[in-house]
Amino acid sequence: MPRIWRTKVEPLANAADVILRMARYNLKIIFGNKFIFFFLASIAFFLLLNGIFVFSETPPTAGLVYYYLLFPALLVVFYPSTFGLQTDVDVRMIEILFGIPDYRYKVWLVRLVMIFVLAFVIVLVLASLATFTVMPVDIFPIAVQVMFPVLFWGSLGFMLSTVVRSGSGTAVLMVVIGLGCFLAMSRLAASKWNLFLNPYDVPSRLNEVVWASIVRENRIYLMAGSLLAILLGLFNLQKRERFV
């Protein structure tokens, strides 16, 4: 390789290597060296849902595939969002984060981005599998739609972890809130306030234009709720005495 090209490529290669090392290090912290188990669990859960579908008489629909993708994705983000802060406390990483001004905000923002990007990649993989095992779907659009509730619940878990300051306590609270919202789906099925709204499950009594408006407003609310939860979580991280 000519010297001039080497001088241009080497800095990029070094930067890519540093980013890759940081990503691996943060993933180990986020998932407690158990990422492979969460990935395999999401795949197993997806295959279990597919197995149930095979032995049922339910006709395949895009709405069904949406739920097949949603719950494994929620499983992936559940542990890192609820137990991530406790992991930092347990390994005394939180003391380092508080020791450098504003460093904890940058670290946790990067971690949240990594969690959601990873969840999105997994959803894309599962959507590709669903195309062969259930029915053909538009992989990228359905993955984007799945990520709206995943972003909200992951951000909510992070925010609650900064309030409860216990991974187990946050997990219990998240399960209770999630079950409450899941049980309320029958009443909020066609409501913009349904946190598990399925955009592919169009009610027969609604006009498609009205349904598109409901879905759009629901997605706006989920995004606003996600941003608010992240900001509140980062704000709670200002209280050093509660964590160190």
**How many of the other CB atoms lie within 10 Å of CB of 172?**
13
Per-residue pLDDT tens digits for 148-200? 999 999 999 999 988 887 778 888 898 899 888 888 877 777 788 888 888 98
Check pLDDT > 80 for residue 73: yes
Calpha distance 121→171 (Å, rounded) = 24
Q: Residues 122, 91: contact at Cβ < 8 Å? A: no
**How many of the other CB atoms lie within 10 Å of CB of 117?**
12
Which residues, other chains included, contact 149 with Cβ-Cβ below 8 Å and sequence gap of 6+?
Answer: 70, 74, 195, 196, 197, 222
Check pLDDT > 70 for residue 140: yes
Confidence at 115, pLDDT banded by 50, 70, 90 = confident
Q: Residues 66, 212: contact at Cβ < 8 Å? A: no
Confidence at 6, pLDDT banded by 50, 70, 90 = low
Calpha distance 91→29 (Å, rounded) = 9
Confidence at 23, pLDDT banded by 50, 70, 90 = low
Torsions phi, psi for 205 (to 5 deg): -85, -5
Region for residue 14 given its phi and psi (left: phi exceeds 0; alpha: psi -120 to 50; beta: otherwise):
alpha
Average of per-residue pLDDT across 38-67: 78
- What the block records as the tokens of 242 is 């509660």
Calpha distance 70→67 (Å, rounded) = 5
Calpha distance 139→38 (Å, rounded) = 22
For the chain, the C-alpha Rg in angstroms (whole number) is 20
Which residues, other chains included, contact 176 with Cβ-Cβ below 8 Å and sequence gap of 6+?
Answer: none
Check pLDDT > 80 for residue 20: no
Confidence at 100, pLDDT banded by 50, 70, 90 = low
* Range with the poorest average pLDDT among 114-118, 135-139, 160-164, 188-192: 188-192
Which residues, other chains included, contact 95 with Cβ-Cβ below 8 Å and sequence gap of 6+?
Answer: 244
Average of per-residue pLDDT across 93-118: 73
Amino acid at the residue 33: N
Calpha distance 143→117 (Å, rounded) = 11
